[in-house]
Amino acid sequence: MNTGILKPTLAIYAAIFLLFLYGPLIILAILSFQSQGGGPQFPIQEWSTYWYRHLFGVTETSRVSQLPVGDALVRSLILAFMTTVVSTVLGTMSAEAFRTRFKGSGPVFYLIILGMMVPGVLVGLGMALLSNFAGIDRAWWGTAFVLHVVYTYPFAFLVMLAIFNRFDRSVEEASLSLGVSPAQTFRRVTFPILFPGVLSAMLFSFTLSYDEFSRTLFTVGRELTLPLAIYGTFSVEIYPNIFAFGVLTTLFSFTLLVVYGLLMKRFTSRRARFSGQEEAA
């Protein structure tokens, strides 16, 4: 068997693949430290944090206008938060409903999943047409928000469905048999046990919504969200300030991942105290 050379070859290939995946981001990060006079390319004239300062508007006025990200960032965060709450609640409710067998569960399943499949431009266009037709003003907290939920709710639903599938129902029955009402059972037993799943669903929803722009493009109205503010700069000449912004927003995404990881770890270590450490006993 000639896996002898195959394995190292594939390993090298995988390494090149990772370079392909991360290379552009690394180059972007390096170029974000370009000096004021330098363009969005090599060579680096002089290392500086000029474009970071430019981003926050703490440099003297320059010919390059500041990226319009301040208000947009706040809007995007609020929107992502709203989307997270609604889609996690909807996703959890639907997944809970799917634990009961009912007629028509197949079509309903596909209806929900369609939300993550259908291209953003299409629903975006449809929503814009619909709001024009109905005479509703388009706004990030309205028409864009409902589409964000259409997009993230299927993800939350799938995550919760997977979590519910692994969930042992007898603990709920145990709680009921102790005289605890279904509502209290959900609050005291089901929810705490499912919490890691809920956290994952929330992370999905937040990240997807925070980064979403093709659904938002036609439905956002006057006040732009962060990705749209960035998208707006694509058509004009780009400067390293967008690279600096890219580094910061990537760091933000990573922070979110780390916070998620820490929350999960805190939760599972609390659980480990209860369900692990067999040898310590």
Partner 1 sequence: MLKLNGITRRYGGTAALDGLDFTVPDDTYVSLLGASGSGKTTLLRLIAGFEEPDAGEIVLGGERLDGKPPHRRDIGFVFQNFALFPHLSVQENVAFGLKHRETGAIASGSELTDRVAAALDLVGLTGFGHRGVGEISGGQKQRVALARTLVTEPRLVLLDEPLGALDANLRARMCDELRAIRERLKVSFLHVTGSETEALTMGDMVAVLAQGRIAQAAESTMLFHQPQNPAAARHLNAWNLLAGTVTGGALQTPVGRLPLPRPLADGTPAQLAVRFDQIDVAEPGAVPPGQDHFTARYLTGEFNGPTTLSFFRADDGELIQVVDHMSNPRLPDLEEGKTYALHFSPEAALLYEGAA
Partner 2 sequence: MTSVTTDMAVATKDSPAVKREGRDRRRAFMLLAPGVVWMILFMVLPMLMVIYVSFWTQTTFAVEPTLTTASWERFMSSTTYISAIGTTLRIWVIVLLATLVVGYPVALFIGLFVKNRTVQTALLVACVIPFWTSFLIRVIAWRPMLGTEGAINLILMKLGIIDQPLTFLLFSEFSVLVGMTQIYCVFMVGPITFMIARIDESMIEAARDLGASFWTIFRRIVLPLSMPGVIVGAIFVSVMVLGEFATAASLSGRKVNLLGNIIVSQVGSLKWAFAAVAGVVLTVIITAVITLALRVVDLRKEM
Q: Can you tell me the distance from the alpha carbon of 34 to that of 11, in angstroms, rounded to the nearest whole number?
A: 34
The reply on whether position 131 binds partner 1 by CB under 8 A is: no
The reply on whether position 94 binds partner 2 by CB under 8 A is: yes
Smallest separation (angstroms) from partner 2 to the CB of 281: 26
The reply on whether position 168 binds partner 1 by CB under 8 A is: yes
Q: What part of residues 239-278 is at the interface with partner 1 (CB under 8 A)?
A: 270-278
Q: Residue 57: which of partner 1, partner 2, none does it interact with, CB under 5 to 8 A by kind? A: none
The reply on whether position 232 binds partner 1 by CB under 8 A is: no
- Distance between start and end Cα atoms, the chain: 48
Radius of gyration of the chain (CA): 24
Q: Phi then psi for 61, rounded to 5 degrees?
A: -55, 135
Q: Can you tell me the distance from the alpha carbon of 215 to that of 148, in angstroms, rounded to the nearest whole number?
A: 7
The kind and range of the H/E element at 123 are: helix 120-134
Identify the CA nearest to 163 among candidates 220, 202, 124: 202
Burial of 102-122, coded b for 16+ CB within 10 Å and e otherwise, reads eeeeeeebeebeebeeeebee
Q: What part of residues 183-222 is at the interface with partner 1 (CB under 8 A)?
A: 184-185, 188-189, 192-193
Please write down the long-range contacts of 199-202, taking CB distance under 8 Å and 24 or more positions apart.
199/260, 199/263, 199/264, 199/267, 200/159, 200/163, 200/260, 201/87, 201/88, 201/91, 201/92, 201/155, 201/156, 201/159, 201/160, 202/84, 202/88, 202/156
Complex with partner 2: residue 49 or 132, whichever CB lies closer: 132
Among 32, 94, 175, 249, binds partner 1 (CB under 8 A): 175
- Residues in contact with partner 1, counted by CB under 8 A, come to a total of 30
Q: Residue 1: which of partner 1, partner 2, none does it interact with, CB under 5 to 8 A by kind? A: partner 2
Complex with partner 2: residue 79 or 128, whichever CB lies closer: 128
Smallest separation (angstroms) from partner 2 to the CB of 13: 5
The reply on whether position 166 binds partner 2 by CB under 8 A is: no
Complex with partner 2: residue 152 or 175, whichever CB lies closer: 152
Complex with partner 2: residue 64 or 256, whichever CB lies closer: 256
Among 61, 63, 179, 237, binds partner 1 (CB under 8 A): 179
Q: Can you tell me the distance from the alpha carbon of 135 to that of 148, in angstroms, rounded to the nearest whole number?
A: 21
Q: DSSP of 88-120, one letter per residue? A: HHHHHHHHHHTTS--TTHHHHHHHHHHHHHS-H
The reply on whether position 155 binds partner 2 by CB under 8 A is: no
Q: Residue 96: which of partner 1, partner 2, none does it interact with, CB under 5 to 8 A by kind? A: partner 2
The reply on whether position 177 binds partner 2 by CB under 8 A is: no
Complex with partner 2: residue 52 or 98, whichever CB lies closer: 98
Contact yes or no for 72/229 (Cβ under 8 A): yes
Residues near partner 1, by CB under 8 A: 168, 170-171, 173-182, 184-185, 188-189, 192-193, 270-278, 280-281
